[in-house]
């Protein structure tokens, strides 16, 4: 059966929270802490089609194997909007054969951003655990490098 990409429901909170916490604990964000309430708030917001939050769920035969979270916000310097990804995560043992699902999520995010009036879409790789082909996939979807991101823990 093919992986299905769908919108979330509040019932998806538990699996998003669990998989998201795994991501946080196993990525460059391992020292940043975790908030169950903040994740619940994101899921609750994404269920509302009028909100500026998008969550897409990747499901295989009824099992949630990954998710994507993005949002639309105004630039700090104008009233124009930018769509930004927050995270894309898949279960580590379910990453084979997810290219079509990842592409569907990226395309879905871009189309959603257009409907929300975004001026541009920004997707990054900051976790340190992205798959080898993710950057190339983003480039195939029309994304280009736009700068440099440097980090320093304090």
Between 22-31, 102-111, 123-132, 135-144, the lowest mean confidence (pLDDT) is in 123-132
Domain at 81, CATH number: 3.40.630.30
Residue 108 sits at the vertex; the CA angle it makes with 92 and 112, to the nearest 5 degrees, is 130
In a domain, 149, yes or no: no
Give the Cα separation of 33 and 2 in Å (integer): 34
In a domain, 107, yes or no: yes
In a domain, 89, yes or no: yes
Give the Cα separation of 113 and 80 in Å (integer): 12
End-to-end CA gap in the chain: 46
Number of domains in the chain: 1
The tens digit of pLDDT for each residue in 51-65 reads 999 999 999 999 999
> How far is CA 69 from each of CA 8, 79, 139, 140, 152, rounded to the nearest angstrom?
11, 22, 19, 20, 24
The tens digit of pLDDT for each residue in 85-127 reads 999 999 989 988 899 999 999 999 999 999 999 999 999 888 7
């Amino acid at each position: 059966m093919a992986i299905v990409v769908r919108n979330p429901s509040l019932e998806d909170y538990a699996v998003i929270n669990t998989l998201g916490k795994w991501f946080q604990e196993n990525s460059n964000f391992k020292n940043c802490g975790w908030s169950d309430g903040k994740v619940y708030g994101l899921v609750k917001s994404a269920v509302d089609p009028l909100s500026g939050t998008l969550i897409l769920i990747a499901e295989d035969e009824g099992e949630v194997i990954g998710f994507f979270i993005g949002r639309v916000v105004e630039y700090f310097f104008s009233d124009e909007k930018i769509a930004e990804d927050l995270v894309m995560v898949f279960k580590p043992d379910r990453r084979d054969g997810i290219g079509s699902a990842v592409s569907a999520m990226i395309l879905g995010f871009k189309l959603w951003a257009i409907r929300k009036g975004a001026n541009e879409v920004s997707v990054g790789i900051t976790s340190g655990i992205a798959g080898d082909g993710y950057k190339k996939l983003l480039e195939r979807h029309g994304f280009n490098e736009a700068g440099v991101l440097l980090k320093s823990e304090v």
